[in-house]
Structure 1
Amino acid sequence: MGTRSNSVAQHHAEWLSLLEISGPFLSLEVLLEHFPQMNLEEDDPDLRRRLRLAYDEWQDNQLGLQPDPAIHRAWLHFVLTELLAMPAEVLRFDAAIPGCIKVTMAEQDETLRPDLVVVDPDTQQPRLLVQLYPLGQRLDHAVAGRAWKAAPDTRMMELLHATDVRLGLVTNGEQWLLVNAPRNETTGLIAWYAQLWLEEPLTLRAWISLLNAYRFFGVPDDATLVAMLQRSADDQAEVTDQLGYQVRRAVEQLVHAIDVADRDAGNRLLANVDEATLYEAAITVMMRLVFLFCAEERDLFPLADELYSAYYAATPMRAQLRAAADEYGEEVIERRTDAWHRLLATTRAIYGGIQHEDLRLPAYGSDLFDPDRFAFLEGRRPGTHWTDTPAQPLPINNRTVLHLLESLQLLQVKAPGGERQARRLSFRALDIEQIGHVYEGLLDHQAVRAGAPILGLAGTKDREPETPLHELEERAGANMTDAPAALMAYLKEETGRSPSALRRALESVPDAAWQAQLLAACSGDEELYRRILPYAGLIRTDDFDRPMVILPGSVYVTAGADRRSTGAHYTQRVLTEPIVQHTLEP
């Protein structure tokens, strides 16, 4: 059952990856519910043959010297009636469109109307608004010659909001953009391409399955496309929470890696750098990655340029590092640090720009990418300038960088049966509120230096405490076998786990490999190892599957006591909005 579910999920993930998605769309969970057997519309060779003929005729005409508007409209009609099987009685053109389906943009002195409306055959209520533009009009660029300098996608969004219709379709004949614009929520933009319908038939099957007349009028209300989109929007909260959890774990790992490097260097690397500054720097590194992924997926940075892609781009780096890890082992890539150097080089390139005959990039500046803001990341002293002081970057290994990238780019989602699957996250589909929620979650934590041995305990996702070893020892007393009530009550409160789960964890006997890892985590201190061993089953692992044992003097990340005690988890909006706004906007 698990294998079958995985293959179905991979099938849906495949066609989703072939679309351009910005903002909310269909969640994997909803797709698995409505298409549990990969039962998208069956491939129809005859339909594809007719599609090829119609597409070629349309393209030849529109790319010619005298494009015929009638052929352009006929192509739209073919897609709606032949591919999507929309009957004539649900289509309203020109004068047949109700007069109320419009919006006047008073400040721009312009009125927006659809070119076509799909109406419910029973109620005559509009279900889909359609606008057709010339082939040369990009759907995300301003419309030339119009008073309002807004792109077709923005125009449709405003029209949908004003008419209280959720779905719109905007097309130039090649790109077919579904606009999902629920009122007072984030708008989703999902693009199909006619050329890809022919090259990747799976995208055609998805197009027909989601937008044909049957999906609008022939299914129960809870199975329509609008209902599926609403259910998916409800799932987005879980996506955001999971992303926040993964990013927090990654920040923990980065803080740990920097702390280990500093201790290995005799505490020289973080001289005059306090724990708060270290934590702020780690958050900044993650937000830089968010900006890079967003900008590269939106083509704001030249990802298609071979030089940029090979030496600066963040998006392909995960696949490159994962390929090396799979071939040689993660322990091997742990010996190299070139990925960290590359991220620092990209930071400099974005801040200061690149002016080279083979690669040009404007200087974006901004505090987020200022190399001098956290000079210690480059191994420089505070107050030095990146243009005249040589860098000696911190020795952050490639394994750590790989896990930072995977925490952002691969979302661990629940599949049927409770299994978790890695699903590639589209940064075009993330909105400001989601990134803000993740950022605020990071503000809710802090870096502190341990004064005594600390154990990271396994718990529920939002309750993974870092607990002083002596707290457990004091409550356990002398009789560990019976797990005293005081210890059980303390663990239940701290971890959120059930008494039975905690009892099993306390009674479990770690195998030899785990014991060896635990001893290594104790830096070979056998006395400390013996003290920790009775609680081994309670300890969670880090992203490298190593026991979370924090030695005295080490820096670790934990929940901030002040904000947690007051419940003020969202008081930092003034801090959140600027960084997120600049992260997502070009």
Structure 2
Amino acid sequence: MREGVEEALKILANGFLAHPANKDLRQRLQEGKLTPLEYYRQLLRLIYRLLFLMVAEERGLIGARYDPEKSRIYNEFYSVSRLRKLAEGYSSGARRYCDLWLGLLTTFRLFAREELACRLGMGVLDGDLFSAQAIPDLEGTHLANIDFLQAIRHLSLYREGRNLRRVNYAALDVEELGSVYESLLDYHPVVTAGPEGRLQFELLSGTERKSWFLLHPPGTGQRADKKRRRPGYCRTVGEGNNQGRKGKSFAVFKGG
């Protein structure tokens, strides 16, 4: 499951960065108003919203208990379970519309606003995970359906030998979810910008407390970091230091 969560997170991260309509998101990262670490944390909250709803829905904890019609409306039009079914049968030729992601944002609003939740006979979900401040930079974004479905598929299915199995979220306990989160802290997020300005999100081995935004990716002639043995990393990334050797300027921003 950890591998599925990791892959889903990277697909979502790069899907948001790649969509032409998300110019503001890319600009905030480039200007340092949004650090790679905070972007990563918002993506984690998004992933855990999805996991929370998958567990709750499979256990029958969401929906109007005494109103079958309202429960049907939620299950058919707003549930994450509906998205799982779509993702498990999607093809690589899925259209690049953004309606599925926009629909999920509507589902999130159901659990954040009492007046909306009451219409379907449900209550709001209190706590930081579903608060308005949880994913502020992802609100108002667009995400192609193909990227969205690929991410959901990684959360929904896992490979056992040659077979794909469906994750049984009803049987998942808190400790298992917690262990997945802890394993993701072994990485630190990096956002790189290529020669054409296209941003790329990566998770590298290390600690979540370290993150960089690099404007000089591998192959652009910048000096590699010998310690990490990964080309493209600026040699001087100390606090408040953005100057490389021989007076060359490296556009590197630390976050976290």
Offset of 1:428 from its aligned partner? 1.8
Which one of 289, 293, 307 corresponds to residue 73 of structure 2? 307
Equivalent position SS for 1:447: strand
- For 2:42 and 2:159, the matched residues in 1 are separated by 25
Q: Does 2:125 correspond to 1:364? A: yes
> Aligned AA for 2:144?
N
TM-score, with structure 1 as normaliser? 0.32
Secondary structure of the structure 1 residue equivalent to 2:132: coil
Matching residue of 2:178: 436
Describe the superposition over 1:172-214 as per-residue Cα deviations: whole angstroms up to 9, x where unpaired: xxxxxxxxxxxxxxxxxxxxxxxxxxxxxxxxxxxxxxxxxxx
For the Cα contact (< 8 Å) 2:110–2:117, is it kept in 1?
Answer: no
Correspondences of 1:387-466 after superposition (within 5 Å): 394-414=141-161, 420-450=162-192
Runs of 4+ residues over 6 Å off in structure 1: 562-565
Confirm or deny: 8 A CA contact 1:302 1:308 kept in the other structure. Answer: yes
Q: CA deviation at 1:330?
A: 2.8
Q: Equivalents in 1 of 2:117, 2:23: separation in Å?
A: 39
Q: Name the CA distance, whole Å, in 1 between partners of 2:120 and 2:12.
A: 31
Residue number in structure 1 paired with 2:92: 330
1:296 counterpart SS class: helix
Task: Indicate which of 92, 114, 134 corresponds to 1:373.
Answer: 134
The residue that corresponds to 1:556 in the other structure is 202
Evaluate the alpha carbon distance shift between residue 439 and residue 562 of structure 1 in structure 2; reply closer, same or farther with a 3 A threshold: closer
1:268 aligned partner = 24
Query: Aligned partners of 1:302, 1:562: CA distance in 2, in Å?
Result: 36
Which amino acid is 1:409 matched to?
S
Distance in 2 between residues matched to 1:310 and 1:284, nearest whole Å: 24
Supply the distance in 2 between the matched residues of 1:376 and 1:346 (Cα, whole angstroms): 17
- Larger CA deviation: 271-280 vs 302-311: 302-311
Paired position in structure 2 for 1:113: none
CA distance in 1, matches of 2:22, 2:106: 26
Structure 1 residue 248, shift from structure 2 partner = 0.3
* 2:95 is equivalent to residue 348 of structure 1: no
**RMSD between superposed Cα atoms in Å:** 2.8
Aligned length: 201
Separation (CA, whole Å) in 2 of partners of 1:356 and 1:371:
15
With over 3 angstroms needed to count, the CA separation of the structure-2 counterparts of 1:321 and 1:430, relative to structure 1, is closer
| CA deviation map 1:420-455 (0-9, x unaligned) | 2111111121122211111111222222122668xx
Could you tell me which amino acid in structure 1 is paired with residue 201 of structure 2? V
Q: Which residue of 2 aligns with 1:462?
A: none
Aligned residue type for 1:363: V
Q: Does 1:320 align with 2:76?
A: no
2:159 alignment partner, SS class:
strand
1:435 partner letter: L
Q: Is 2:11 the counterpart of 1:245?
A: no
Distance between the aligned counterparts of 1:280 and 1:435, measured in 2?
16
Deviation at 1:266, TM superposition (A): 7.7
**Cα-to-partner distance string for 1:508-564 (whole Å, 9 max, x where unaligned):** xxxxxxxxxxxxxxx7xxxxxxxxxxxxxxxxxxxxxxxxxxx87533222225789
Aligned partner of 1:312: which letter? Y
Bigger RCO (CA 8 Å, 6+ sep) = 2
CA distance in 2: counterparts of 1:308 and 1:266, whole angstroms: 29
SS of the equivalent of 1:278 reads helix
1:126-525 correspondence runs (5 A): 243-261=1-19, 264-265=20-21, 267-270=23-26, 271=28, 272-302=33-63, 305-323=71-89, 325=90, 329-333=91-95, 335-354=96-115, 359-379=120-140, 394-414=141-161, 420-450=162-192
Q: Residue type matched to 1:268 in 2?
A: D
Mark the structure with the bigger radius of gyration. 1
Q: Secondary structure at the match of 2:39?
A: helix
CA contact (8 A) 2:37 2:208 kept: no
Q: How does 1:86-165 map to 2 (within 5 A)?
A: none
Write the distance in 2 (CA, Å) between the matches of 1:378 and 1:402. 18
Structure with greater helix percent: 1
Contact 1:411 1:422 in 2 (8 A): yes
SS at match of 2:183: helix
What TM-score does the superposition give when structure 2 sets the normalisation length?
Answer: 0.69
User: How big is each residue's C-alpha offset from its partner over 1:472-509, in whole Å with a ceiling of 9 and x where there is no partner?
Assistant: xxxxxxxxxxxxxxxxxxxxxxxxxxxxxxxxxxxxxx
Q: Which amino acid aligns with 1:315?
A: S
